[in-house]
Structure 1
Amino acid sequence: MKNIVPVKWLLARLYEPDIVIVDCRFQLGKPESGRAAYEEAHIPGAVYLDLEKDLSAPIGEHGGRHPLQDLATLAARFGQAGISNESRVVAYDDQGGAMASRLWWLLRYLGHTNVFVLDAGFSAWRDVGCPVSSEQKVIIPARFLASVQHNMLIEMDEVRESLGTGRFVLLDSREAPRYRGEAEPIDKVAGHIPGARNLFWAEGRRADGTWKDANEQGERFAGLGLKQDDELVVYCGSGVTATPNVLALEEAGFTRVKLYAGSWSDWISYAGNAVATGEE
């Protein structure tokens, strides 16, 4: 798995100078809990980046619940966290990889490919007796130069214009009841973008919390009839839990994958956008 690293891999490289470990723990609805968990115990040397304060822009009229941060601001924040263009970055969370995958995607979007997600997250690290610490690392700022990969992102207008044309395959990463419009605990409107297929992001993990391998991920996507030359657009509620599906698609060998970062919460912020319910 080229994007996922096991606990033993990180343990063996814990103090190598080019490794930057980033704690991304965050709970929706409890925005302070992630930092509190980090301050209580984290992987030694890890820095903390907050989903809403560091990895998202402030909420506006459009852009969804976790808008993309201004790219210059984001690059500067990575540098402040000690991430340079030469760093090997390992991200972890305790939310099934969703928050860590957001950081993975953002760094890749800014041209930094040497970034990984820790398999099964912080609990797996601690449960096998690996060291933890409450000490906060003295961060030496680094120079991070962005090289934006525009082909990784798609905007709302292009999604809307593509509806009914077959240009893209749309993948909705939310749980099935939200996709079908039967339940909507977060956003103001229930349903999905017309034509989208549903593939819940958490099904990319096994029962023990580890990520499925490339073959297993490939079986997930084959079950939806996806082909590796398809051009895919992945979305979720706010652009966060779509990123584990983007990562899983890359693991399975898909190369034409775009993220609709604003996702459903951005889509419904435009009054004229169509909404579908039920199965497609």
Structure 2
Amino acid sequence: MYTTLISATQLAGIIEQPSSVILDCRHDLMDASLGLSAYAAGHLPRAQFAHMDQHLSGSKLAADGSFKGRHPLPDKEQFVQCLRAWGINEDTQVIAYDAHGGMYAARLWWMLRWVGHAAVAVLDGGLAAWSKQGLALTQNSPQSAPGAIQALPSLVSQVSVEQVLANLDTAAKLVVDARSPDRYRGENESMDPVGGHIPGAKNRFFKDNLQADGCFKSAQQLQQEWSALLTDSSKAIMQCGSGVTACHNLLALEVAGLSGASLYPGSWSEWCAHAERPVALGS
């Protein structure tokens, strides 16, 4: 069972097994249609497409009309129905991949753990690593028999905006922001209409988890780097722009053997939507 990362070589050895499901998570924040277009042009054998907006996110508005962020979590049962449509059972090995260093695939990895499914891994290095091995792509769309997965007790934890607000006073947990340094400092208005970060948050850009070739750094290196940032992963909250790339940091922590951190799903897009919430600027 693969529970964090899987190499292209390892995936090639199991990709034809009917007990595995491959999901293509490619996406573009500026053009939500590009992921599906890229999938149609060529994808891994047996891969199905998981759309960030349609499958991996829910309504942006809560029942009271408040804004929950750009990519809030969907209703859990609706997500389980998506998993069944992809043919996933409780004993299915799921592999997620993208072409962006794992930033979108890690979201699916976290969400499967959210519904209690441990057998899920991200293709290390993504589509580029697969192609570098000379492995083929296809334009064929697979047909899957419906699965029967059920939601089990969650393997991950999350926090609400109210809990993050309360943490400003207690400082019981360290908030770690996965956005790029310029966004964290409040210098990228094209990505964030309100710039800055949650007061007290530290910055760990998700791309810092990767080597130059787009694969994750070794478990030992990740452990060393993350331990220099936080002393107790169980007392950490991961956030980003909208709860997507924060999952990349959570995956890196799991690879490093530093489990227990929580996700703030609403992240900066929810936080900055209300002017009364404090904002910090700069480094």
Instruction: Tell me if 1:197 matches 2:202.
Output: yes
What CA RMSD, in Å, does the superposition of the two structures yield over aligned residues? 1.4
- When structure 1 is superposed on structure 2, of 23-32 and 102-111 the one drifting more is 23-32
- When structure 1 is superposed on structure 2, of 3-12 and 146-155 the one drifting more is 146-155
CA deviations on 1:42-69 (whole Å, 9 max, x unpaired) are 1110111100111101322421100110
- Aligned partner of residue 225 in structure 2, secondary structure: helix
- 1:207 corresponds to which letter in structure 2? A
User: Hey, which bits of structure 1, 4+ residues long, moved more than 6 A?
Assistant: none
TM-score, structure 1 normalization: 0.95
**1:130 corresponding residue in structure 2:** 135
Structure-to-structure mapping, 1:1-280, within 5 angstroms: 3-60=4-61, 61-149=66-154, 152-224=157-229, 226-228=230-232, 230-279=234-283
Question: How big is the shift at 1:92?
Answer: 0.3
- Aligned partner of residue 163 in structure 1, secondary structure: helix
Report if the CA contact (8 A) 1:22-1:90 is conserved. Answer: yes
- Aligned partner of residue 55 in structure 2, secondary structure: coil
Question: How big is the shift at 1:219?
Answer: 2.1
Q: In structure 2, how many angstroms separate the alpha carbons of the residues matched to 1:221 and 1:185?
A: 29
- 1:26 corresponds to which letter in structure 2? H
Report if the CA contact (8 A) 1:2-1:251 is conserved. Answer: no
Report if the CA contact (8 A) 1:228-1:253 is conserved. Answer: no
CA deviations on 1:185-227 (whole Å, 9 max, x unpaired) are 2232100000000000011000011111111111221332x12
- Aligned partner of residue 255 in structure 1, secondary structure: coil
Report if the CA contact (8 A) 2:113-2:155 is conserved. Answer: no
- 1:129 corresponds to which letter in structure 2? G
Report if the CA contact (8 A) 2:233-2:261 is conserved. Answer: no
Q: In structure 1, how many angstroms separate the alpha carbons of the residues matched to 2:42 and 2:96?
A: 15
Q: In structure 2, how many angstroms separate the alpha carbons of the residues matched to 1:246 and 1:208?
A: 20
Using a 3 Å threshold, how does the CA distance of structure 1 residues 120 and 150 change in structure 2: closer, same or farther? closer
Report if the CA contact (8 A) 2:198-2:278 is conserved. Answer: yes
Report if the CA contact (8 A) 1:174-1:241 is conserved. Answer: yes
Q: In structure 1, how many angstroms separate the alpha carbons of the residues matched to 2:137 and 2:155?
A: 38
CA deviations on 1:57-95 (whole Å, 9 max, x unpaired) are 132242110011011101111111111111000000001
**Aligned-pair identity (%):** 37
Q: In structure 2, how many angstroms separate the alpha carbons of the residues matched to 1:138 and 1:149?
A: 29
- When structure 1 is superposed on structure 2, of 73-82 and 53-62 the one drifting more is 53-62
Report if the CA contact (8 A) 2:71-2:266 is conserved. Answer: yes
Gap runs ≥5 in structure 1:
none
Using a 3 Å threshold, how does the CA distance of structure 1 residues 94 and 228 change in structure 2: closer, same or farther? same
Matched pairs, number = 278
Q: In structure 2, how many angstroms separate the alpha carbons of the residues matched to 1:263 and 1:172?
A: 9
Using a 3 Å threshold, how does the CA distance of structure 1 residues 41 and 144 change in structure 2: closer, same or farther? same
- Aligned partner of residue 223 in structure 1, secondary structure: helix
Gap runs ≥5 in structure 2:
none
Report if the CA contact (8 A) 2:97-2:127 is conserved. Answer: yes
- Aligned partner of residue 91 in structure 1, secondary structure: strand
- 2:196 corresponds to which letter in structure 1? G
Q: In structure 1, how many angstroms separate the alpha carbons of the residues matched to 2:233 and 2:89?
A: 33
- Aligned partner of residue 193 in structure 1, secondary structure: coil
- When structure 1 is superposed on structure 2, of 103-112 and 160-169 the one drifting more is 160-169
